[in-house]
């Protein structure tokens, strides 16, 4: 059975409570479908601020599906749980082609980052069609490869403000892709864990030197999968600050209705 994100049961304890990994804050959440130019239907979820005041939008591209990546990869899931309520940022998550989650399985098969161009384009077009403001591409691991390869090409180039990258491996994305971003002039923020398995901060600085406007931020003690609330909090602070254009330090407590995810 497909999970219905509107089914969360919210309870107000009447006092501030710590925001934990499973804490779900109020938002308008709906299951969505994306339709690609090559005829596939992709399944996802959109989480919007309850008051309708959308200050920014994250279009998320998840880690490698052949290694457990999907729309519920934990940083993205927690972003959807928290950011609409805490920052007014909408979070669009979806399963790329052939990827499964409790939401369901997107049509198609994994295509090594080639056919997935259509997936990114469909997500950007959906965000435009829904009138979601201040749209940013957010990639994590394999998702950063899709952002770097296709986010600086039309039509995504004209539809988004810039890119935020979590743990970019720079395996599929090459110098030509980086040059497209350099030519675009659009901001690129790369959050690179100190102990990343694939690309660490010093090497990332060298690789991203081709993109003059790119900012590489090393995450002390961090690893590729961003395990641990400390690192999730850092990621969400950096993401929110970039999207909103001002320093953001997200609260760690919430005073109001809260639900608990399974």
DSSP bridge pairs for 138: 60, 164
Question: Are residues 36 and 16 in contact, defined by beta-carbon separation less than 8 angstroms?
Answer: no
What's the CATH number for 7-260? 3.40.50.1820
What are the DSSP E strand ranges found in the chain? 17-18, 23-24, 28-35, 41-48, 56-61, 89-94, 100-101, 104-105, 135-140, 163-166, 188-193, 214-219, 253-254, 259-260
pTM confidence score:
0.98
d(CA 203, CA 255): 42
Question: Are residues 17 and 51 in contact, defined by beta-carbon separation less than 8 angstroms?
Answer: no
Residue 254 pLDDT:
98
Please confirm whether the linkage preceding 155 is cis (ω < 30° from 0): yes
> What are the backbone dihedrals phi and psi of residue 254, each rounded to the nearest 5 degrees, phi first?
-135, 130
3-state class of 46 per DSSP? strand
pLDDT tens string for the chain (262 positions)? 788 998 999 999 999 999 999 999 999 999 999 999 999 999 999 999 999 999 999 999 999 999 999 999 999 999 999 999 999 999 999 999 999 999 999 999 999 999 999 999 999 999 999 999 999 999 999 999 999 999 999 999 999 999 999 999 999 999 999 999 999 999 999 999 999 999 999 999 999 999 999 999 999 999 999 999 999 999 999 999 999 999 999 999 999 999 999 8
Residue 81 pLDDT:
98
d(CA 181, CA 200): 20
Residue 2 pLDDT:
85
Residue 158 pLDDT:
98
> What are the backbone dihedrals phi and psi of residue 219, each rounded to the nearest 5 degrees, phi first?
-105, 100
Residue 162 pLDDT:
98
Question: Are residues 156 and 150 in contact, defined by beta-carbon separation less than 8 angstroms?
Answer: yes
Residue 8 pLDDT:
95
Where exactly are the structural domains of the chain?
Answer: 7-260
């Amino acid at each position: 059975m497909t999970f219905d994100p509107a089914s969360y049961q919210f309870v107000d304890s009447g006092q501030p409570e710590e925001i934990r990994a499973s804490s779900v804050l109020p938002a308008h959440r709906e299951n969505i479908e994306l339709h690609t130019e090559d005829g596939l239907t992709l399944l996802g979820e959109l989480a919007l601020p309850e008051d309708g005041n959308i200050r920014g939008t994250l279009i998320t591209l998840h880690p490698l599906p052949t290694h457990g990546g999907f729309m519920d990869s934990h940083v993205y899931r927690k972003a959807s749980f928290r950011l609409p309520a805490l920052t007014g940022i909408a979070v669009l998550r979806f399963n790329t082609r052939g990827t499964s989650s409790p939401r369901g399985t997107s049509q198609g098969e994994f295509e090594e980052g080639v056919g997935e161009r259509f997936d990114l384009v469909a997500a950007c077009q959906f965000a435009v069609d829904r009138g979601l403001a201040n749209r940013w591409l957010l990639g994590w691991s394999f998702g950063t490869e899709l952002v770097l390869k296709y986010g600086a090409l039309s039509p995504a180039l004209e539809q988004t403000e810039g890119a935020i990258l979590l743990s970019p491996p720079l395996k599929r994305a090459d110098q030509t892709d980086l040059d497209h971003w350099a030519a675009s002039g659009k901001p690129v923020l790369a959050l690179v864990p100190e102990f990343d398995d694939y690309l660490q901060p010093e090497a990332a600085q060298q690789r991203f030197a081709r993109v003059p406007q790119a900012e590489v931020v090393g995450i002390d003690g961090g690893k590729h999968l961003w395990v641990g609330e400390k690192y999730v909090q850092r990621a969400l602070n950096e993401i929110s600050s970039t999207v909103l254009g001002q320093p953001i330090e997200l609260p760690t407590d919430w005073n109001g209705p809260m639900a608990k995810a399974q």
